[in-house]
Amino acid sequence: MTQSLRIAHLYPDLLNLYADKGNILTLVRRLEWRGISVEVISVPNGEEPRLEDYHLVLLGGGSDREQELVGRTLRARQSEWQAAVQAGLPLLAVCGGYQLLGQFYQLPDGTKVPGLELLDLETIAGSPRLIGNIAIDTVGLGTIVGFENHGGRTTHRHQPLGTVVSGHGNNGTDRDEGVRHLHIVGTYIHGPLLPKNPQLADYMLKLALEYAGMRFDLEPLEDSLERAAQDAFLARRIPVRA
Ligand code: GLN
């Protein structure tokens, strides 16, 4: 029997802002185009995730209210999450999902929503919201583009995903955007992230295929449309002040 790569989409009923579902569609298509079998498991809030069954996990963005609900669910299995990511489980978390990987997300009224503590990271809601198009330079993954909309200011003690060349990033001050630690990638970039950044999609797929013990030589795909979309964005970007 052919083994399938199993991708878990966690809490799509609550964490689903700005077309985050497009990330799943991109991963699925890029596997199918290469003849690799894939299965997507959607886990609604209230259902227990079976972390040992997945090769890649996606957490999307959500509003503060939804984050509080999901935060409680996630915390209930903190030790399983810790073990899974230490074992190399790839995890892609966007915006609200990204914030929930840290110690806490502090709401505008001062209440702290506890996070999964997979990362040494904290987020404090601030004003104004950090909204707009964003471009970052990364080490090894080229330029990543997209859209951000968050009140939270995040700081952490890991490697960032990239350096902001246009937009706000983690906190609007240090020019860091996102995080890369173990096989975890966290980012504020929606819009959705992966259709516009196929190199990042393939990076997550390589990690997942390796983790699954499946072949991981991903032949290049015809990405000229994606590259043209990135170029069009970059031609219009407003650089941040150094
Ligand atoms: N509630 C969070 C914030 O505004 C996350 C929002 C989001 O996921 N777009 O910071």
Residue 241's pLDDT is: 57
CA of 123 to the centre of ligand 1 (A): 10
Residue 242 has pLDDT above 60, yes or no: no
Query: What residues are paired with 179 via a beta bridge?
Result: 186
Of ligand 1's atoms, which has the minimum distance to the CA of residue 60? 8
pLDDT range class, residue 217, cuts 50, 70, 90: confident
CA of 151 to the centre of ligand 1 (A): 6
For residue 44, give the nearest of 77, 14, 72, 86 by alpha carbon: 14
CA of 163 to the centre of ligand 1 (A): 20
| Distance of alpha carbon 213 from alpha carbon 87, whole angstroms | 13
Residue 235 has pLDDT above 90, yes or no: no
State which H helix or E strand residue 226 sits in: helix 224-236
All domains in the chain, ordered by first residue: 5-236 (3.40.50.880)
For residue 166, give the nearest of 150, 177, 155 by alpha carbon: 177
Q: What is the pLDDT averaged over residues 168-187?
A: 98
Q: What is the DSSP letter of 115?
A: -
Active-site positions read 95, 190
Task: Quote the percentage of the chain above a pLDDT of 90.
Answer: 80
Tracing tokens 């993954």 back to the chain, one arrives at 141
Residue 238 has pLDDT above 80, yes or no: no
The model's pLDDT over 101-137, given as tens digits with 9 standing for 90+, comes to 999 999 999 999 999 999 999 999 999 999 999 999 9
Residue 19 has pLDDT above 80, yes or no: no
The model's pLDDT over 53-108, given as tens digits with 9 standing for 90+, comes to 999 999 999 888 898 999 988 999 999 999 999 999 999 999 999 999 999 999 99
- Length of the chain measured in residues: 242
Q: Angle at Cα 230 formed by Cα 241 and Cα 125, nearest 5°?
A: 50
CA of 65 to the centre of ligand 1 (A): 10
The overall average pLDDT reported for the chain is 93
Residue 193's pLDDT is: 95
Residue 154's pLDDT is: 98
Q: Which residues of 193-206 are buried (b: 16+ CB within 10 A; e: fewer)?
A: bbbbbbbbbbbbbe
Residue 1 has pLDDT above 70, yes or no: no
| Distance of alpha carbon 177 from alpha carbon 169, whole angstroms | 4
Residue 163 has pLDDT above 60, yes or no: yes
Tokens of 230: 């990135």
Question: Pocket around ligand 1: residues whose beta carbon is below 6 Å from it?
Answer: 17, 61-64, 67, 95-96, 149-152
For residue 95, give the nearest of 195, 199, 191, 165 by alpha carbon: 191
pLDDT range class, residue 17, cuts 50, 70, 90: confident
Which residues fall within 8 angstroms of residue 170, CB to CB, at 6 or more apart?
A: 153, 154, 155, 156, 160, 176, 177, 178, 188
